[in-house]
Amino acid sequence: MGCYIRVEQNVNVYVEDLDPGNGKPIVFIHGWPVNHKIFEYQFNRLPIMGYRCIGIDLRGFGKSDRPWTGYSYNRLADDIRVIIDTLGLQNITLLGHSMGGAISIRYMARHAGYQVSKLALVGAAAPVYTRRPDFPYGRTKEEANKLIEGTYNDRPKMLEDLGDLYFERYITGSFKKWFQGLGMEASGHSSAMAMMSLRDEDLRPDLPKIHVPTAIFHGVQDKRCPFVLAELMHAGITGSELIPFQYSGHGIFYCEKDKFNRELVRFIG
């Protein structure tokens, strides 16, 4: 069932709630620049197994409203808090992919892990997405700026190129078009603003504030968020579990979907 939740004055966020009864809730936070439908191959399977899957279109993406401002990690984390309160969710697994993983980390730190019992970080763009003098890992700020430039000048081509880097294993041309279509559902301006947050935000101080069981799912071949980021998150989050996917790039939830779904169910219990 889909619905809109008001997270701020004049800002409504779209939420898809696949509720199989009293199943354990999993809140899915998508990455840049797609929407909740990227998790189709989890939504097909997990509700059958009794899990309540809740997909959120972050503001500016998918079916959600597209305000001109409000794309900082703090604001996006606050949106998630409003949705959790509105739906009355408890004992949830918060799952974030890519930028969604970064926002999930900020949520855990900013809201003290409110109502979250487990955290799943999937190809997370953390602890820092871009390099800086004291952090020589990840993408360069110039690469992030090129994505912003491409968003404003030729977004379809930018998304086509991004899809080629997203999935390490062979995908069909039809699948690439589907992925590109998800990106085109977003606002161009929202996409650019969110990439600026990816470029500039630093989550290193947030990691020690995570105190729930955490699983880090990461593709060894990831070209968007290199595997070293997963190792750094693993070192920074006490008691976390690192689950490598040897044959996957950034889109591990599709490239190795059977293993991913199996490991996620094992982790949640």
Which residues carry out catalysis? 98, 222, 250
Report which DSSP code applies to 184: H
Q: Which two tokens stand for residue 2?
A: 């889909």
Rg (alpha carbons) of the chain, rounded to whole number:
17
CA trace torsion 30, 36, 38, 42 (10° rounding): 100
Amino acid identity for residue 74 in this structure: N
The alpha carbon of residue 64 and the mean position of all alpha carbons in its chain are separated, in whole angstroms, by 16
Residue 247 has phi, psi (to 5 degrees) of -110, 15
**Burial group, residue 103, by CB count within 10 angstroms (0-12, 13-18, 19+):** buried
The alpha carbon of residue 219 and the mean position of all alpha carbons in its chain are separated, in whole angstroms, by 14
